[in-house]
Amino acid sequence: MTTTPAITPVLEAGVAQARSLLPPMLREQVATLGDELGRICGYQLGLCDADGDPLHGCGGKLVRPAFSLLCSAAAGGSADEVLPAASAIELLHNASLIHDDIMDGDHARRHRPTVWARFGVPLALLAGDALIALGFEVLGGHRHPATASAVADLARTLRHLAIGQEQDLRFEREQGIGIEDSLAMLGGKTGALLACACRMGARHASAPPDWTDRFGRFGMHIGVAFQLVDDDLGIWGDPGVTGKPVGTDLRARKKSAPVVAALQAGTADSARLARLYATPGDLTDTQVTFMADLVEGAGGRTWALAEADRRISAAWDLLDPLDLDLDARRGLVELTTALTTRRY
């Protein structure tokens, strides 16, 4: 019998700050939704259990608000100024999780039933809409010179999330998806919201427009790198650590980035992998392990991890010329490193 090492999550500075500042604001927002929607949205946010009984803290890691807080501090802003925007980002993130779980038919998230699995599709759909409403309400109600541009940015980001998710659904069915398509989809699905989180930080710190743009491109690169690492874990992650079965994404025949890279490589392994992807029916553990080996053999894994490294490097190239607050910059390095070297 093997023992699984206990996970002792280290809270990076930005995450610790987000976890102390956000839950009170999120609780206040959710309380405006009435008993039923309030309970369901609180459940998704990890503020309460399915019966509405309060939980300590917040279920999500609050990575995106942590980026908003750190980017704001890096650009010389205060946490107070960016907090409503950070909350708005977290509310929209959770809305998209609820809606994506409906679309993907996923039953579990964060070791609990997904919202639709627990409360049914109609209420889950409404809960997602309600969280979008709260996001724009907390952002639009913030008296700050950046509010109008922040709202337009958040709306544009929500549009890109929808387009990214549409591509993700379509790519599952389509043949011949290229690496560029795949990266564009990752940019929409994961990059766009992290880019927005980082722009909010710079914008609410009243940094020059050039800084806002740079922080946004920084966030986009980090978001894509984060998703590439996630795709790697979806194939090669240790089930004892990730809490998901071996090769989840292969089993669902997801066209994640390493798979697309492998399929496009034109090797004998690529052709074998394509045949297995085209064959319907459930896969055995042996087949899943064989497919993972094919992705690796065709160079998909190496490409994806190298692309993640390139993205992180490109991200820092954007911020390095700026005169940032050093503590906050260190926090950003810590958080970025933790996200892209994680095993969970």
Q: Which residues bind a copy of itself (CB under 8 A)?
A: 32-34, 36-37, 95-96, 99, 102-103, 121-123, 125-130, 132-137, 139-141, 143, 147-149, 151-156, 158-159, 161-163, 165-166, 169-170
Closest approach, Cβ 282 to a copy of itself, in A, equals 22
The Cα 244–Cα 109 span in angstroms is 10
CA distance 132 to 89: 9
The residue (of 30 and 73) whose beta carbon lies closer to a copy of itself is 30
Q: Minimum distance between the CB of residue 19 and a copy of itself, rounded to whole angstroms?
A: 25
Angstrom distance (rounded) from CA 114 to CA 285? 25
Taking the C-alpha atoms of residue 208 and residue 211, their distance in angstroms, rounded to an integer, is 5
CB of 178 to a copy of itself, least distance (A): 16
Residue whose CB is less far from a copy of itself, 185 or 318: 185
Q: Which residue has the tokens 């309970």?
A: 39
Smallest separation, CB 122 to a copy of itself (Å): 4
Q: Are 151 and 139 in contact (CB under 8 A)?
A: yes
The answer to whether 33 and 87 are in contact (CB under 8 A) is no
Q: What angle in degrees, to the nearest 10, is found between the helix axes of 300-319 and 326-340?
A: 170
Q: Cβ 138 to a copy of itself, closest distance in Å?
A: 8
- To the nearest whole angstrom, how small is the minimum distance from the Cβ of residue 149 to a copy of itself? 8
Please count the other Cβ atoms lying within 10 Å of the Cβ belonging to residue 50.
14
Rounded CA separation 42/44 (Å): 5
Q: Which amino acid is at 191?
A: G
Residue 44 vs 96, nearer CB to a copy of itself = 96
| Residue whose CB is less far from a copy of itself, 136 or 277 | 136
Residue placing its CB nearer to a copy of itself in the complex, 95 or 318: 95
- For a copy of itself, the closer CB: 32 or 78: 32
The H or E element spanning position 25 is: helix 13-30
- CA atoms 218, 224, 226, 228: torsion sign: negative
Taking the complex as a whole, how short is the minimal distance between the CB of residue 206 and a copy of itself, in angstroms?
16
Contact of 232 with 305, CB cutoff 8 Å: yes
**CB 124 to a copy of itself: min, Å:** 10
Nearer to a copy of itself, 29 or 340 (CB): 29
Alpha-carbon gap, residue 119 to 39, rounded angstroms: 10
Instruction: Kindly tell me which of 90 and 232 has the beta carbon lying closer to a copy of itself.
Output: 90
Tell the smallest beta-carbon distance from residue 266 to a copy of itself (Å): 28
Amino acid at 128: G
Q: Which residue, 39 or 301, is less far from a copy of itself as judged by CB?
A: 39
Count of CA atoms in the C-beta half-sphere (13 A) of 150 = 33
Would you give the DSSP letter of residue 60?
A: S
What burial letters (b/e) apply to 67-98, b meaning 16+ CB within 10 Å? Answer: bbbbbbbbbebebebbbbbbbbbbbbbbbbbb
